[in-house]
């Protein structure tokens, strides 16, 4: 039976607006892909105000997974 390990990353909207953050994020995603991590979910975390019907994206949750192997140390 396959077993998986997961990496969960939170990215704030404020970080996405920073000048060089997107290229840094791209480099990180490339590195994690080379390490065998597959992106399985990229989802916004919404913040809403009940009385004002105002919904905003506060941050994003990014989930990666890869198959566990007995030869690879479990380090995130």
pLDDT digits (tens, 9 = 90+) for 1-59: 889 999 999 998 888 888 888 888 899 999 999 999 999 999 998 887 666 667 788 89
pLDDT band at 76 (very low <50, low <70, confident <90, very high): low
pLDDT band at 66 (very low <50, low <70, confident <90, very high): very high
Q: Give the H or E element holding residue 52.
A: none
pLDDT of residue 6: 96
pLDDT of residue 47: 80
Domain of 37 in residue numbering reads as 4-66
Q: Is residue 71 part of a domain?
A: no
The CA-CA-CA angle for residues 40, 41, 46, to 5°, reads: 170
Q: Is residue 75 part of a domain?
A: no
pLDDT of residue 15: 82
Task: Give Cα 22 to chain centroid, integer Å.
Answer: 13
Q: Number of folded domains in the chain?
A: 1
Whole-angstrom distance, CA of residue 63 vs CA of residue 25: 14
**72, 3 contact by CB (below 8 A):** no
């Amino acid at each position: 039976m396959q077993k998986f390990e997961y990496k969960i990353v939170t990215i704030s909207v404020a970080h996405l607006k920073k000048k060089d953050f997107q290229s840094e994020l791209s480099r990180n995603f490339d590195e994690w892909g080379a390490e065998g991590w597959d992106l399985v979910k990229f989802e916004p975390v919404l913040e809403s105000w009940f009385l004002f019907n105002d919904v905003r994206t506060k941050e994003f949750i990014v989930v990666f997974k890869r198959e566990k192997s007995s030869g690879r140390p479990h380090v995130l």
